[in-house]
Amino acid sequence: MNTPPRDLLALSLVLLLVISSASLYGQGSRYELGQRLREFEGHFERTLDPVARGRSLPAMESAVTAFFSLRMGRVAESLDEARFALLSDRPPTDAERYLASLSLRAMPALRDPSDGAVVLSLRQMYKPTVKIPAELSIKLQLEGEDPLVLPVERVPAELRLSVRKDLFGDRWLTAEFHVEEKPMRSSRQLLCFVPRFTERLEALKRVADDQTMAAHPHDQATLRARVADLAALASTAGLETDLPGSQWMAFAEELAAAKGADQPRISNTLRGEQWLSFAIPGQGAAIPVRMWLPPILKEQESPKIPVVVALHGAGGSENMFFDGYGVGKARHLCESRGYALICPRGGMMGSPPVVDLVDALAQIYPLDREQIHLLGHSMGAGNALQVARKSPQRLKSLALISAGAGRAHPSLAQLPIFLATADRDFSRGSTKRLADALMTGEEHRTTYREYAGAEHLLVVQVALPDVFQFFDVHQADSER
């Protein structure tokens, strides 16, 4: 089966997005767009009125189009327009439009408290044709500290927030935007305070490169990743989302302290949400993974933990299924069921080594390595299909949302597959063609769903409850 030209075009756009979003625009733009997207997704999840949801779709489609064409300011503006349309059928006021355009961000997000005041950059992501509101002020509230109200007379501007020199830990900074003393918008950012940061980071760098760490390769890979991420959080580049730098520093020092120990620090005692990196033989660079594992409920766990591996779309990362796609809806669905959620970082050069990764994790955690539920969106759906064609016997079920270029294969004939798209999804045609190819013959095990009132991105959070019900059915089959 040849890939239709429009599917090749969509695939080319996806690959372009992967390159551009990470390099041309950097983590700063990714962070700002992620903040707006999560705000919209939260409202979308709580707004069940189909008319209100429908009002937001043209602007969301515009955001996706602008994303593919690298117009990041237009992406931000479209996301704000989608939120306004979702929440009301009236147009926003001039003040609402102006405030929506603003970005307030502390740079860097991680700092040594002895460095003094936190400097916040106030700027516009785009320039609506309205003037700055009169009597604009911002109320800053750092978690656990007294609030500070600062007047704003012009934009761009730099704001300064004094902090105590003995401050430590990860703390939320909430900003309330007021016009004539009336609160009209809020945002928040996670700030990380790490005393003696430079000294401690240099010590970690030395240990990360110490050959004695090689005895525990996952410990070493994770320590190296944390050193790089901590350095990024402490720079003006930052990272793509809010991440717990103080918590990361503490864990990195635990990894360093375990150097030369008989047992690695990464063990079955690490539960809940984790950011780890795994050194898989034959894979070259270590694979960054964000994951959630259910707590240990008893001393000796007998049942193996069901596994969901989720592969993100182009322009995303291992954080996408935790922070996006319905503000981390997949994580909550796993948590309510006691499933493990494993999200590796993907790329445009093919799928992450899902099976090898689960095998490596199964040496540490009691995972059901022979019964993997695999989920992918867009580029991740194509990657998931690659995994399924190569190792169908290792999968319990497969869910593909907004599948782009992909082909059916005889190896998939007996695999339970859930395909989802939406009426306004640009990959609807290719997903439907794949479903038709998979559903030939009486013995197929493919389910196809097309959702109304969603597009290429929103279809994920709309479809996820059905995806997990599909997983539940086939997980129950394996337990009978």
Q: What is the pLDDT of residues 73-87, one digit of tens each?
A: 999 999 999 999 999
Say how far apart CA 176 and CA 137 lie, in whole Å: 8
pLDDT of residue 69: 86
pLDDT above 50 for 10: no
Is the separation of the CB atoms in 201 and 223 below 8 Å? no
CB atoms within 10 A of CB 250: 12
pLDDT above 50 for 229: yes
Burial 12-38 (b: 16+ CB within 10 A, else e): ebbebbbebbeeeeebbbbbbbbbbbb
pLDDT class for 409, splitting at 50, 70, 90? confident
pLDDT above 50 for 3: no
Q: What is the pLDDT of residues 169-226, one digit of tens each?
A: 999 999 999 999 999 999 999 999 999 999 999 999 999 988 888 889 999 999 999 9
User: What tokens were used for 478?
Assistant: 């394996």
CB atoms within 10 A of CB 350: 11
Over the Cα atoms of the chain, what is R_g? 23
Q: What amino acid occupies position 441?
A: G
pLDDT of residue 370: 87
pLDDT above 90 for 238: no
User: What tokens were used for 440?
Assistant: 């030939």
pLDDT of residue 28: 64
pLDDT of residue 126: 96
9 or 116, which is more confident: 116
Specify the residue for token string 């196809």: 448
pLDDT above 50 for 135: yes
Say how far apart CA 252 and CA 328 lie, in whole Å: 25
Q: Which of the residue ranges 86-100, 394-408, 447-461 would you say has the lowest mean pLDDT?
A: 394-408
Say how far apart CA 430 and CA 436 lie, in whole Å: 10
CA 109 to chain centre: 18
Mean pLDDT score, 373-395:
95
Cα 102 to Cα 132, 239, 300, 360: the distances in Å are 10, 19, 52, 44
Handedness of CA 40, 41, 43, 47 (dihedral sign): positive
Average pLDDT, the chain: 90
Specify the residue for token string 């019900």: 469
pLDDT above 60 for 4: no
Helix (H, G, I), strand (E, B) or coil at 268: coil
Question: Please, which residues bridge with residue 172 across strands?
Answer: 190
pLDDT above 80 for 478: no
Q: Which residues contact 255 (CB under 8 A, 6 or more apart)?
A: 219, 222, 223, 226, 265, 266
Q: What is the pLDDT of residues 282-333, one digit of tens each?
A: 888 899 999 999 987 655 555 789 999 999 998 889 999 999 999 999 999 9
- Beta 182-193 vs 169-179: how paired, if at all? antiparallel
Q: What is the pLDDT of residues 334-370, one digit of tens each?
A: 999 999 999 999 876 678 999 999 999 999 999 999 8
User: What tokens were used for 398?
Assistant: 């497969």
